[in-house]
Amino acid sequence: MIQYKLLTPGPLTTTESVKKVMMEDHCTWDDDYKQITQKIRKNLLKLAHVSEEDYTVVLMQGSGSFGVESVLTSVVGEEDKLLIVANGAYGERMTDIADHAKLSYAVYRVDYDQVPSAQKVEEILKGDPAITHVAMVHSETTSGILNDIASVSKVVKAAGKTMIVDAMSSFAGVDIQVEELGIDFLISSANKCIQGVPGFSLILCNRKKLIESQGKARSLSLDLYDQWETMEKDGKWRFTSPTHTVLAFAKAMEELEEEGGIQARSKRYYDNNRLLIQKMKELGIRTYIGEEHQGPIITTFFYPEHCNFSFQEMYEYIKERGYAIYPGKVTDADTFRIGNIGEIYEEDILKLCGIFKSFFDKMR
């Protein structure tokens, strides 16, 4: 089997040391194990810049979407109405979740290469007082755009509504002042910027709003309040916990600290992302998102002009040389994507761009 590094935005390439801690089996009701869960929850509060008094953390089995579904279906009650802000596939997934759970909701849609406007959100809230909650994606992994959660949160708070952010692919890769921004629920997962392996999602919750949600959940397994109530006691997960993933995550959090915290990690991601864009530009490859809104996590590139090849051909060529890239996901153009989160360094970006150059030369 060919070994390759992942240039996909989760799962991503993890360190040997993170993988190694999964060699141990742990008992789920053992005190040492429960302490690991508690330590993770405490450290996540720090990474989010929130106080333990006002915020708490729930870990939920499953991939990131399970976390988003857990929040939407647990906190938006029968009498409530949700406004979903969507400029990509992950925003659209929230509408899908809302449909399945029969939530009352409205959608504010924006083109995939544009950021949603806070002013427009403000107008929608004014025009529809029934709306109680607003949900949006921070880093839309579909395109790579980084949405302005600060300005949207501000108008949502001013209107007295609950703010929900899917920060799946940005949390810990981009610094987010969760409490200062007034975000009530923020969702991320184990296999994104904290650089763990897949298996659970994490939810930063405003304590008061979480407690208010008791009894509203439409699902048993994804009941956010119930999961929290059990976990808050002593770190026990309500149902079988993804033990190996939890160990890997605890190790990944230590390594984030060793790297220099979010600041250092964010700088590495930004530097590598900007280097990648620069090098691709030299090859005549343009980005789908304009520089102002391009995030540091993943980049959508247009296919070069006058080249005739399939994504599969390009993918195989690059994979044979040690890297896995991602197909495009925007619907209005021929594109491919490159993620640069995980154990990816400047040398990888330079090597990758060399591989692209030889591939395009061959195809021209």
DSSP assignment letter at 286: P
Q: Please, which residue, 60 or 353, has the CB nearer to ligand PLP?
A: 60
Q: Please, which residue, 33 or 66, has the CB nearer to ligand PLP?
A: 66
- Phi, psi angles (nearest 5°) of residue 27: -90, 135
CA–CA separation, 65 vs 62, rounded Å? 8
The residues that bridge with 57 in the sheet, in sequence order, are 204
CB 161 within 8 A of CB 189: no
Q: Please, which residue, 113 or 353, has the CB nearer to ligand PLP?
A: 113
364 belongs to an annotated ligand binding site: no
Strands (E), 87-211: 105-109, 133-137, 139-140, 145-146, 162-166, 185-189, 200-206
Q: Please, which residue, 191 or 287, has the CB nearer to ligand PLP?
A: 191
* Of 13, 61, 363, 300, nearest in space to 5 by CA: 13
The least CB distance from residue 328 to ligand PLP, in Å, is: 15
Q: How many C-alpha atoms does 100 have within 13 Å on its Cβ side?
A: 12
- Phi, psi angles (nearest 5°) of residue 136: -150, 160
The least CB distance from residue 166 to ligand PLP, in Å, is: 5
- Residues of the shown chain interacting with ligand PLP in the complex, contacts defined by CB under 6 A: 9-10, 63-65, 90, 137, 141, 166, 168-169, 189
The least CB distance from residue 308 to ligand PLP, in Å, is: 31
Residue nearest ligand PLP, CB atom distance = 64
CA–CA separation, 179 vs 123, rounded Å? 24
CA–CA separation, 239 vs 217, rounded Å? 17
Q: Please, which residue, 181 or 353, has the CB nearer to ligand PLP?
A: 181
Q: Please, which residue, 80 or 166, has the CB nearer to ligand PLP?
A: 166
The least CB distance from residue 192 to ligand PLP, in Å, is: 6
CA–CA separation, 184 vs 196, rounded Å? 24
The least CB distance from residue 339 to ligand PLP, in Å, is: 9
The least CB distance from residue 137 to ligand PLP, in Å, is: 5
Strands (E), 289-351: 298-302, 323-324, 326-327, 335-339
Q: Which parts are annotated binding residues for substrate? A: 337
Q: Which residues are annotated as a binding site?
A: 337
